[in-house]
Structure 1
Amino acid sequence: MLSDDVLIIGSGIAALQLAVRLNNHVNVRILTKGKITTANSYLAQGGIAAAIGEHDNPAKHIVDSIEAGRFHNDPEVVKQVINQAPSLIKGMDAQGDFLDKDENGNLLLGMEGAHSEKRIVHGGGDATGKNVVDYLVKSLQANVIVEEDVHAYECILNPEKDRCIGVKAKRLDGTVCFYYAKHVILATGGCGQLYRFTSNAKTVTGDGIAMAYLAGAELVDMEFIQFHPTLLYVNGETHGLISEAVRGEGAILVTDDGTRIMDGVHPLKDLGPRHVVSQTIYEYLKNGQNVYLDISTINNFEERFPSITLICRKNGIELSKGRIPVAPGSHFLMGGIKTDLMGRTSITGLYAIGEAACTGLHGANRLASNSLLEGLYQGHKLAEWLNNAPKEPFLKVYRSEVTFEGEKLALPNVEEMKDLMMERTGIVRNRADLLMQSTWLNQFNVKEKLDHYSVEELTTIFMLINAKLITDAALRRTESRGGHFRSDYPLEDDTHWLRKSITHKLREKNHEHSKTAIAT
């Protein structure tokens, strides 16, 4: 049994920023189900959005974020994060030399979809996530203990079920470990691996979201999944992300015969909001046509995009031909565990930051490069709050029981579930498909006692829970908005639906009852 001041589940940018910013006298433990760098943050090719350009200002960035989010954002949250972005970036730049600059030492700024100005800060060209994560890992102090290959699977609550006091976790050999802390932070990312085509790391299966749900925390906006328009697409499979920065530098989406598919679709054409571009590409692919990024106008492509160049070479793409085959895939969850900007959930002692959390910043569709910004902001903000929080003794520990015997669950085949989620609860949705998917998912049940399941089974269970939550939320929202597109309700409906969709699991005596509600 281990006790700490702060227990962090996950090792992405939000988690590491928090760990680095906490005072040295705070005992911190990071648990990660893989290695410390096996997170979405490490794969992030895009950059960090901040209004630091000569002709830019936070007001423009705020407008772009709310427009991309289809006015579903929390305006006060957007203002607070965006207004803080310039000082956050400048502060990080002053502490470490890992961001790209011109010959005069000024930060280079790139353009991405739905932005009105060049405001994307990069590191290592298209390796921003790696650069920032490497910097943060090197900055960890002796008060931070990192445990790898530890799979957290259950929040430990006090007897009253109103405070989180720790988590249960499994090691690779199946050993169950108890970790207790004054503050438990879920920073486990989204759930991109629910879909056949995804840019996400293999470890991103919605674990923290499922843990929070089973503990009784409120979730919000689970229907809003962002599909990135351009993943490398070879032989019917996706093989990594082709950053939006490529289109920002002039690449055009075309068919085999050179038809520009975004002309006449959106005023910003190839740099339109991601949901618009993804839906357009999807329709062409569905009709049997191939879609490519025409990169022929980009000079020194291999030097400017080394990570993308490596991905393409590994998959047999000859960049000299000037075309990269692409398809859209799941990229980011706008919804998640309902929190405030500090990461506080509806359960005392339980926090969520990064993609696992939903603060209201992104609305119905995330503006490009606002995600790394949010992770850095939330990690910094929560650290400030915890550093200044009144000191309290360790809570009384109520050791949770472990049950190694239980019925064998009939679990879905993961590959089949991913295919069906892509087909029925993916880029384009409708009531008939969603009902079929709900019926298919509901044939599989999840029990409360998880101790006796293997790590592989736990992963499948968490994916199943997230799939049900997304499908149910998508059924309830009878409109199209941002990353949620219903072909049977193709228009936005501000009269009835400009509001959040809240989901939570009631902690009643039988622990079986669930409830969904719509909140303004």
Structure 2
Amino acid sequence: MMSTDVIIVGSGIAALQLARQLQEHLNVIIITKNKVKDSNSYLAQGGIAAPIGILDKIELHTRDTMTAGCNHQSIEVVKNVIRDGKRIIEYLINDGAPFDRKADGDLALGMEGAHSIARILHSGGDQTGKYIVDYLLDSLTGKVRFVQEEMVCELLRNERGHCCGVKTMKSDGSIHHYFAPHVVLSTGGAGSIYSLSSNAPSVTGDGMALAFLAGAALSDMEFIQFHPTLLSLGTTSGGLVSEAVRGEGALLINDRGERIMEGVHPQLELAPRHIVAEKINSERNEGKTVYLDITPVKEFKTKFPSITKMCETHHVSLSDGKIPVTPGCHFTMGGVVTDEEGKTTVNGLYAIGEVACTGLHGANRLASNSLLEGLVFGERLAHHLITAKKNAASFTAAYHVSKSRGTAPEITFDPAELKERMMTDVGIIRNEQSLTNHLNWLKAQYLPYNADLDRLSQDEIQTYLMWVVSMMITQSALLRTESRGGHIRSDYPAENNTDWFKRRILLINENHQLKVVHDEQHKIEIYA
């Protein structure tokens, strides 16, 4: 058993920003189920959006974010995040963060989909995540302890219902406990519960499932962003082909040489992601192959070294200027409901980064807003925790964890089957029949929400948590009878602003049952 001031679960950009801000004030443990750099943040090819250009403004970035998110967000939340993000990015620039610059020394600002002006900062071309994660890691001191290759399998609560620590499991099955008055989920999204995904394989929604099982409210789980351009390898994907490639002028064409975005959207290749993904999907469903024509991009290999290496690894020649692409799961807009500091509906539990639903992204995330969100909420939560230090002696008395134990679940399905079913039935295009089919399959697994996971292996626990997340996504998608942003239903193809505008679907674990409610029917209390 080990105790500390703050436990952070996950090691992406939000987690590292939080640890960087806390390290001179509180003792911090970062726990990750793999290695520190096994995160979506480290894989991020795209950049960080911020209104720092001469002609750019906070209001303009806010408008673009609201438009991409189909106005499902709170405009005040969006404006405040972008305001704080601008300040943080300006600080990082002055601090020497490794952002790319032009020959004259000015920052090189790129263009991406749904942005009305070039405002994307990159590092190392298409290696922004790697560079920024390394930069943040280098800034950490010995006051931040890393616990690697331990999977958090339960959020511990005391007799008052406060989150007071975590239970972990190592690959050998051994169980360990860590206690703290503040537990922060920074575990990323759930992209890898789909068979085609840009996400790191380990990003399967653990934090979302753990928060749900611990009693936290989740929201907007039906809104899944499918990135339009993953490298297509037939029935599988080789990885992400950044939107920045289209920002540099690459065109989307089919095997007949036709530009597929003409007549679809005024921004063509740089339309919002759900529009581009839906169009590529429809072309592929008609039996056509879709390519990124990169011939308009000058010095492609220099600007996009990681994409070049990925293509070479998978024997995709760049000599003819065409990269075959397919949509795949990329980002989870929904997640654990938080306020503007990262506090959840469970006292002592916080969520930052993609695992959280902060009100920033709405129905569809604006490109390159995710790393910005991680930096902003990492700083905000640090400020809250530093100013809300708790008395260690009083907290020690709260270590008596009470939990009614369920039975050990029997995992009888292959997680690969769940991923394929998610892609087929809860993928880019959904309808009542496909969603009902998948929901019935999930229910047929007969898994409880109060399961005792101690006797399972790490892989089995991950599969169980994937099942929990799949249930949340599927039930939410079935209930929202409209198409909005990343949630597209063929049986309800239009936005329904009469019944669904600004209405959220909340998911709550009530008496070990998944309860689905509308936000106006259930008061959400965020704990101070």
TM-score above 0.5 = yes
Moved more, 394-403 or 339-348: 394-403
Inter-CA distance 402–67: structure 2 relative to 1 (3 Å threshold): closer
Query: How do 1:30-69 and structure 2 match up within 5 A?
Result: 30-69=30-69
Task: Give the CA RMSD over aligned residues.
Answer: 1.5
Deviation at 1:386, TM superposition (A): 1.2
Mapped to 2, the partners of 1:105 and 1:97 lie a distance apart of 14
Contact 1:190–1:206, Cα closer than 8 Å, also in 2:
yes
Contact 2:157–2:402, Cα closer than 8 Å, also in 1:
no
Query: How do 1:44-123 and structure 2 match up within 5 A?
Result: 44-123=44-123
Match of residue 467, structure 2, among 453, 464, 468? 464
Inter-CA distance 292–111: structure 2 relative to 1 (3 Å threshold): same
Deviation at 1:400, TM superposition (A): 4.1
2:284 maps to 1:285: yes
What SS does structure 2 have at the residue aligned with 1:497?
coil
Match of 1:450 in 2: 453
Deviation at 1:95, TM superposition (A): 1.6
Aligned residue type for 1:55: L
Match of 1:27 in 2: 27
Contact 2:159–2:402, Cα closer than 8 Å, also in 1:
no
Inter-CA distance 51–405: structure 2 relative to 1 (3 Å threshold): closer
Match of 2:138 in 1: 138
What SS does structure 2 have at the residue aligned with 1:292?
strand
Deviation at 1:382, TM superposition (A): 0.7
Match of residue 483, structure 2, among 470, 480, 483? 480
Contact 2:227–2:329, Cα closer than 8 Å, also in 1:
yes
Match of 1:367 in 2: 366
Mapped to 1, the partners of 2:109 and 2:406 lie a distance apart of 56
What SS does structure 2 have at the residue aligned with 1:320?
coil
Deviation at 1:58, TM superposition (A): 1.1
Mapped to 2, the partners of 1:385 and 1:407 lie a distance apart of 38
Match of 2:524 in 1: none
What SS does structure 2 have at the residue aligned with 1:381?
helix
What SS does structure 2 have at the residue aligned with 1:279?
helix
Aligned residue type for 2:361: H
2:506 maps to 1:502: yes
Contact 1:228–1:329, Cα closer than 8 Å, also in 2:
yes
Deviation at 1:103, TM superposition (A): 2.9
What SS does structure 2 have at the residue aligned with 1:367?
coil
Contact 2:23–2:141, Cα closer than 8 Å, also in 1:
no
Deviation at 1:104, TM superposition (A): 3.2
Match of 1:164 in 2: 163
Mapped to 2, the partners of 1:369 and 1:137 lie a distance apart of 21
Paired residues, number: 515
Deviation at 1:234, TM superposition (A): 1.2
Match of 2:200 in 1: 201
Mapped to 2, the partners of 1:86 and 1:103 lie a distance apart of 24
Match of 2:440 in 1: 439
TM-score (norm 2): 0.95
Contact 1:44–1:128, Cα closer than 8 Å, also in 2:
yes
Match of 1:129 in 2: 129
Inter-CA distance 286–146: structure 2 relative to 1 (3 Å threshold): same
Aligned residue type for 2:509: K
Mapped to 2, the partners of 1:83 and 1:410 lie a distance apart of 46
What SS does structure 1 have at the residue aligned with 2:180?
strand
Mapped to 2, the partners of 1:210 and 1:453 lie a distance apart of 16
Match of 2:212 in 1: 213
Aligned residue type for 1:501: I
Moved more, 33-42 or 231-240: 231-240
Moved more, 246-255 or 406-415: 406-415
Deviation at 1:403, TM superposition (A): 11
Deviation at 1:23, TM superposition (A): 4.2
Residue deviations 1:117-147 (CA, integer Å, cap 9, x gap) = 0000000000000000001111111111001
Contact 2:405–2:451, Cα closer than 8 Å, also in 1:
no
Match of 2:525 in 1: none
Mapped to 2, the partners of 1:78 and 1:484 lie a distance apart of 20
Mapped to 1, the partners of 2:141 and 2:96 lie a distance apart of 16
Contact 1:110–1:248, Cα closer than 8 Å, also in 2:
yes
Match of 2:182 in 1: 183
Match of 2:349 in 1: 350
Contact 2:158–2:402, Cα closer than 8 Å, also in 1:
no
Deviation at 1:408, TM superposition (A): 5.1
What SS does structure 2 have at the residue aligned with 1:429?
coil
Aligned residue type for 2:107: L
Match of 1:274 in 2: 273
Aligned residue type for 2:430: R
Contact 1:404–1:452, Cα closer than 8 Å, also in 2:
no
What SS does structure 1 have at the residue aligned with 2:261?
coil
Residue deviations 1:235-272 (CA, integer Å, cap 9, x gap) = 32101100000000100100111101000011111100
Mapped to 2, the partners of 1:412 and 1:216 lie a distance apart of 26
Mapped to 1, the partners of 2:406 and 2:216 lie a distance apart of 27
Mapped to 1, the partners of 2:111 and 2:456 lie a distance apart of 46
Deviation at 1:350, TM superposition (A): 0.1
Moved more, 67-76 or 410-419: 410-419
Deviation at 1:401, TM superposition (A): 7.6
Deviation at 1:81, TM superposition (A): 0.7
Residue deviations 1:379-416 (CA, integer Å, cap 9, x gap) = 01111111222442251243448999954514321111
What SS does structure 1 have at the residue aligned with 2:499?
helix
What SS does structure 2 have at the residue aligned with 1:331?
strand
Mapped to 1, the partners of 2:461 and 2:36 lie a distance apart of 20
Moved more, 388-397 or 331-340: 388-397
Task: Give the % identical residues.
Answer: 49
Match of 1:518 in 2: 518
Segments of structure 2 that go 5 or more residues without pairing to the other structure are 521-528
Deviation at 1:321, TM superposition (A): 0.4
Mapped to 1, the partners of 2:169 and 2:240 lie a distance apart of 31
Match of 1:429 in 2: 430
Moved more, 99-108 or 190-199: 99-108
Inter-CA distance 90–482: structure 2 relative to 1 (3 Å threshold): same
Deviation at 1:43, TM superposition (A): 0.3
Match of 1:334 in 2: 333
What SS does structure 1 have at the residue aligned with 2:159?
coil
